[in-house]
């Protein structure tokens, strides 16, 4: 006859346990269950039931000492409530809560607690458990394992390639209504001194550092991140475009328009976007670097008359000049837009003159040549674009920069606190998920005086009292009620569950 065993079950966000003793009745095997109660600490074998209060139990020694007294039905805890409550309720409204929980069902409490810590607590992982103990998150996700070593192990689990593929399959089915999307592609550096293959020396915009490159693909219309990739810091952007598009197609997203930064503009990539090597052609818009011969030729041929009023347009109260010309793009018919940002031009001229006017080795002719191109930039496209629509279209690329800013400053992307590629992959995926939630809540609060960060800070002051079998949130203030209203949620009066 098999020995008795403990069976664990999760109900309403809490874990409960029963001990089963195998028996034979009428020649049949049966398991006699004995209810232990709510799991308080699985590792230490601590449980709670109405009859016994808190007590210890092990299969070897049976019931141990009673830890609590008759006060087990009295008030147990006071926790930060409002921020965690709206976080998880907003995730459910957005449709992300179930997607995230289903990713690693056996680790969902750890995943959701870490995600909440990144948004609500922030700070080093060594403080995650301390934050969790004071947050309503511990009631919703009681089996989280947030010791530093457990978090490192979790990151490695989350970094598995099969987990990434499952995530993007579920996530993209939610955020993409069609398999075709206009995309924005850009990258950023993640400075670090970690000794693993992804750390390498990179020089970007004149700054040299040890870093890993993170590349992001964003939906142009919704401005939501679709996919991410990463490379060693010494792999330049220009070599990554075709691989990025290929990976996107592999997960089911076909780019029907691409807006990319100058770092991705090269002869090989333009051929690829035109479909020269058998790829599917992708219409594109990109800025070209000032070091390219094409840039120098276009500026030399078309810069002189850009001050003519017929080329001027207003964009967000900034005065620009835009001249569209048909041109040859490495053997393909395309369009170039030679532009001047007049305010930027004046700033650049001022800075240049201030550093050059008294220099002995700079002639007035040299200064005139340098001044000529100040504030000038060139965009190229496979399609003709009305000049009034050109800059709004190109400026959508700022959505990627805003996502990088959110990731680094609001959702704990940096500093990197990992020591293996597997843990790095898990950390990046967790940050991607956290950023998606942050952006979604910001969108839900759009048009109000609140953003996600402000909403969390205000609602953290709404506490709750946790009793044996129920939770009583404190009354919401006017600001809190305004946030609930804008999120289309109602402040709860009483919730099931307990400590």
Q: What is the pLDDT along the chain (499 residues), one digit of tens a residue?
A: 467 889 898 876 678 898 888 877 777 777 778 888 888 888 888 888 766 778 888 888 888 876 654 444 444 589 999 999 999 999 999 999 999 999 999 999 999 999 999 999 988 898 999 999 999 999 999 999 998 889 999 999 999 999 999 999 999 999 987 888 899 999 999 999 888 889 998 876 677 889 999 999 999 999 999 999 999 999 988 999 999 999 999 998 899 999 998 999 999 999 999 999 888 899 999 999 999 999 999 999 998 888 889 999 998 888 999 999 999 999 999 999 999 999 999 999 999 898 888 777 788 888 888 888 899 999 999 999 998 899 999 999 999 999 999 999 999 999 888 888 999 999 999 999 999 999 999 999 999 999 999 999 999 999 999 987 889 999 999 999 999 999 999 999 999 876 6
67: left (phi over 0), alpha (psi -120 to 50) or beta: alpha
Residues 6+ apart with CB under 8 A from 106: none
Residues 6+ apart with CB under 8 A from 123: 117, 131, 412
In terms of C-beta density within 10 A (0-12 exposed, 13-18 middle, 19 or more buried), how is residue 437 classed?
buried
Mode of pairing for the β-strands spanning 376-381 and 284-287: antiparallel
Q: What is the pLDDT of residue 30?
A: 73
Residues 6+ apart with CB under 8 A from 73: 467, 468, 469
Burial 438-457 (b: 16+ CB within 10 A, else e): bbbbbebbeeeebebeebbe
Residues 6+ apart with CB under 8 A from 283: 256, 257, 258, 273, 381, 382, 383
Residue whose pair of structure tokens reads 């600001």 in the numeric block: 479
Q: Are 265 and 295 in contact (CB under 8 A)?
A: no
- Separation in Å, CA 56 to CA 39, 45, 333, 488: 10, 5, 78, 43
pTM above 0.85, yes or no: no
Of 99, 102, 118, 111, which Cα lies nearest the Cα of 140? 111
Of 219, 218, 263, 261, which Cα lies nearest the Cα of 237? 263
Cβ of 208: how many Cβ atoms within 10 Å? 9
Largest CA distance in the chain: 108
Give dist(CA 61, CA 89) in Å, integer: 42
CA 247 to chain centre: 19
In terms of C-beta density within 10 A (0-12 exposed, 13-18 middle, 19 or more buried), how is residue 135 classed?
buried
Inter-axis angle of helices 452-459 and 82-94, to 10 degrees?
140
Torsion on CA atoms 113, 116, 118, 124, rounded to nearest 10: -40
Q: Are 417 and 426 in contact (CB under 8 A)?
A: no
Report DSSP state, residue 167.
H
Of 4, 40, 246, which Cα lies nearest the Cα of 143? 40
Terminal C-alpha separation, the chain: 37
Give dist(CA 224, CA 191) in Å, integer: 24
35: left (phi over 0), alpha (psi -120 to 50) or beta: beta
Strands (E), 197-331: 200-204, 207-219, 225-232, 254-260, 284-287, 312-315, 318-329
Residues 6+ apart with CB under 8 A from 242: 268, 269, 272, 279
Q: Within the chain, how many helices (H) and strands (E) appear?
A: 17, 20
User: How long, in residues, is the chain?
Assistant: 499
**487 SS3 class:** coil
Mode of pairing for the β-strands spanning 62-66 and 312-315: unpaired
Mode of pairing for the β-strands spanning 14-25 and 28-41: antiparallel
Q: Which helix (H) or strand (E) holds 177?
A: none
Q: Which helix (H) or strand (E) holds 74?
A: none
Give dist(CA 155, CA 430) in Å, integer: 8
Burial 259-272 (b: 16+ CB within 10 A, else e): bbbbbbbbeebbbb
Q: Are 420 and 426 in contact (CB under 8 A)?
A: no
Report DSSP state, residue 350.
H
What ranges in 25-140 are assigned the alpha helix state H? 82-94, 96-101, 108-116, 128-133, 137-140
């Amino acid at each position: 006859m098999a020995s008795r065993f403990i069976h664990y079950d999760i109900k309403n966000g809490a874990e409960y346990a029963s001990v089963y003793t195998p028996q034979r009745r009428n020649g049949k095997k049966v398991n006699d269950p004995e209810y232990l109660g709510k799991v308080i600490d699985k590792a230490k074998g601590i449980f709670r039931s109405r009859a016994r209060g808190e007590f210890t139990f092990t299969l070897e020694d049976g019931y141990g000492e009673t830890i609590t007294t008759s006060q087990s039905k009295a008030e147990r805890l006071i926790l930060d409530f409002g921020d965690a409550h709206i976080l998880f309720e907003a995730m459910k409204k957005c449709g992300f809560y179930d997607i995230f929980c289903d990713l690693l069902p056996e680790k969902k409490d750890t995943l959701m607690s870490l995600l909440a810590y990144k948004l609500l607590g922030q700070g080093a992982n060594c403080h995650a458990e301390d934050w969790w103990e004071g947050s309503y998150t511990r009631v919703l996700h009681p089996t989280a394992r947030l010791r530093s070593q457990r978090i490192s192990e979790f990151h490695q689990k989350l970094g598995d390639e099969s987990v990434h593929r499952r995530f993007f399959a579920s996530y993209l089915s939610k955020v993409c209504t069609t398999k075709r999307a206009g995309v924005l592609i850009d990258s950023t550096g993640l400075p670090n001194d970690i000794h693993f293959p992804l750390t390498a020396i990179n020089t970007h915009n004149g700054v040299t550092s040890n870093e890993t490159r993170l590349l992001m693909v964003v939906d142009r219309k919704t401005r939501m991140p679709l996919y991410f990739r990463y490379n060693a810091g010494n792999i330049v952007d220009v070599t990554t475009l075709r691989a990025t598009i290929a990976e996107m197609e592999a997960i089911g997203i076909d780019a029907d328009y691409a807006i990319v930064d100058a770092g991705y503009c090269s002869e090989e990539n333009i051929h690829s976007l035109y479909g020269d090597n058998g790829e599917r052609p992708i219409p594109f818009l990109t800025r070209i670097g000032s070091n390219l011969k094409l840039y120098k030729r276009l500026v030399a041929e078309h810069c002189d008359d850009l001050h003519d009023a017929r080329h001027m347009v207003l964009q967000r109260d900034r005065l620009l000049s835009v001249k569209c010309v048909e041109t040859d793009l490495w053997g393909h018919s395309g369009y170039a837009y030679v532009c001047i940002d007049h305010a930027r031009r004046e700033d650049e001229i001022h800075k240049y003159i201030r550093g050059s006017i008294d220099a002995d080795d700079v002639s007035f002719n040299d200064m005139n040549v340098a001044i000529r191109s100040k504030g000038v930039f060139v965009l190229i496209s496979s399609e003709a674009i009305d000049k009034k629509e050109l800059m709004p279209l190109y400026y959508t690329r700022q959505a990627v920069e805003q996502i990088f800013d959110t990731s680094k400053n609001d959702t704990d992307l940096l500093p990197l606190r990992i020591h293996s590629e597997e843990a790095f992959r898990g950390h990046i995926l967790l940050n991607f998920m956290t950023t998606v939630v942050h952006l979604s809540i910001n969108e839900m609060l759009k048009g109000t005086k609140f953003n996600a960060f402000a909403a969390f800070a205000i609602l953290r002051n709404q506490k709750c009292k946790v009793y044996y079998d129920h939770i009583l949130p404190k009354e919401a203030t006017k600001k809190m009620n305004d946030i609930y209203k804008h999120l289309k949620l109602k402040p709860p009066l009483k919730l099931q569950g307990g400590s």
